[in-house]
Every structure is written in structure tokens, then in C-alpha cells.
């Protein structure tokens, strides 16, 4: 499918004064110098600010740690890639031939970067108010789903704090295998802790998720002892 900026504007529900900015936002670095990396850098900062402000208003009693963890539920690679998929951006990405052949249009990191670049482009084209309106609309389901219960510390952090409080060395995680295509990988992680004899293994679509799964398994054993 060839790139069509008017079709893209309809998909993302935004009109640009300078359509070249929007085209640049979808242009991967594999194309060359004129790519979306600078817009992505800008969009990342703007997205973080907008989401932080929304969380600040929604949870007036939450402290800094809770707000940071809530923001991490919204501003992360998986969340951004999900927004990109909802907007059907895969077919709009402008990629070099090598990146295209390797499945780049489905790669989560590239999709996430494109969303941030769109935010940066919209800010440069129309200012913060327009960028804010777009982010709040695109991320509304994720913002609406936030609750204080989601701000509990993740399993890996809980396990680290558990071990440190007892003077036990923190666990080490090792990726023992990675299978599948670049855009559809499965990571296998192993983890062992000093005070448990068994080796814990977990699989997930990202290293981070696999490590969290392994940490969760270990916590269940430790807390049930």
C-alpha cells in the first residue's frame, strides 16, 4: 500500500497544516537522514507531560511514586504499539527495503516510535493544545482504566526489595533463548535466587515481561513459605 497522507489523516483523526511533518513522522530511519527520530524525541517528552498532568488531576491524593507507576502503565512501548495498531498504522509506515523485508511494519518498537513522532509532529504543527486533545482521545481507554490498585509495585521490584530487606543477593535474570521473527519473538528467561534450590523459567513476548513472570513465580514460593 503506497503512502497517502490524506488517508493517514483520516485514520488518526487529525488534519495537518504542514502535511510533510506528518509524512516525516511515519518515516523510519532506514529511509535515510530525513526520518522521524527527532519528532519521536519531542513526542516522547510531550506524551509523558500530558499523561502526567492527566494522572495528577485524576488522582489528587496520589504521591509521586504512585503517579510514576500509573504513568508507566500508559507510557510504555507495549501501550504505544497498541495505540498504533488501533490506528492501523502498520500500512502507513515508510520503511527502507531491508526493514520492510524483515517485518518492520509489524515491529512493536517501530510502531511505538511512530505514535510518539505523530505527537511531536502535531505539537510542531499546531501547538500543545492540539497535541493534548489528540493524546487524551487516543489514550482515553488506557487513562480511563487507571486505578490506584494498578500502582502496586511490579513483581520484579517487589522481589528485589524482599531480598534486599533480608540481606540476600538480588536475583540475576538470564535470557536463555529468543525465538520467532523480529516482530513476533518469544523470550525465555531463567532466574535463580540464593535461598531457593530450583531454577525458575518464564516465557513472554518481551524480555521485561518474561523477567516479571519469573519474579512473580519466585515471590509466590517465598511468600508461601
Which residues are tagged catalytic? Answer: 44, 116
Report how far residue 116's alpha carbon sits from residue 200's, in angstroms, rounded to the nearest whole number. Answer: 36
Per 3-state DSSP, the chain is made up of helix, strand and coil in percentages (nearest 5) of 60, 10, 30
Question: In three state form, how does the secondary structure of 156-199 look?
Answer: HHHHHHHHHHCCCCCCEEEEEEEECCCCCCEEEEEEECCCCCCC
Question: Are 170 and 163 in contact, with CB atoms under 8 Å apart?
Answer: yes
Q: Are strands 200-204 and 172-179 parallel, antiparallel or unpaired?
A: unpaired
Whole-angstrom CA distances from 153 to 43, 73, 78, 99, 159 are 27, 11, 18, 36, 10
Amino acid at each position: 500500500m503506497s503512502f497517502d497522507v490524506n488517508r493517514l489523516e483520516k485514520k488518526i483523526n487529525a488534519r495537518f497544516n504542514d502535511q510533510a511533518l506528518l509524512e516525516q513522522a511515519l518515516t523510519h530511519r532506514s529511509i535515510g537522514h530525513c526520518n522521524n527520530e527527532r519528532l519521536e524525541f519531542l513526542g516522547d517528552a510531550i506524551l509523558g507531560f500530558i499523561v502526567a498532568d492527566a494522572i495528577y488531576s485524576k488522582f489528587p491524593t496520589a504521591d509521586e511514586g504512585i503517579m510514576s507507576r500509573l504513568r508507566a502503565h500508559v507510557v510504555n512501548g507495549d501501550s504505544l504499539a497498541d495505540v498504533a495498531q488501533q490506528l492501523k498504522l502498520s500500512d502507513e509506515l515508510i520503511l527502507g527495503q531491508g526493514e520492510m523485508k524483515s517485518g518492520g511494519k509489524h515491529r512493536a518498537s517501530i510502531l511505538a516510535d511512530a505514535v510518539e513522532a505523530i505527537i511531536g509532529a502535531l505539537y510542531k504543527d499546531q501547538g500543545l493544545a492540539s497535541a493534548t486533545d489528540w493524546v487524551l482521545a487516543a489514550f482515553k481507554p488506557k487513562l480511563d482504566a487507571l486505578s490506584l490498585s494498578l500502582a502496586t509495585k511490579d513483581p520484579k521490584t517487589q522481589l528485589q526489595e524482599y531480598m534486599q530487606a533480608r540481606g540476600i543477593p538480588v536475583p540475576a535474570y538470564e535470557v536463555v533463548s529468543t525465538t520467532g521473527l523480529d516482530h513476533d519473538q518469544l523470550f525465555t528467561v531463567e532466574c535463580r535466587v540464593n535461598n531457593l534450590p530450583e531454577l525458575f523459567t518464564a516465557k513472554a513476548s518481551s524480555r521485561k515481561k518474561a523477567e516479571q513472570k519469573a519474579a512473580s513465580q519466585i515471590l509466590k514460593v517465598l511468600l508461601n513459605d
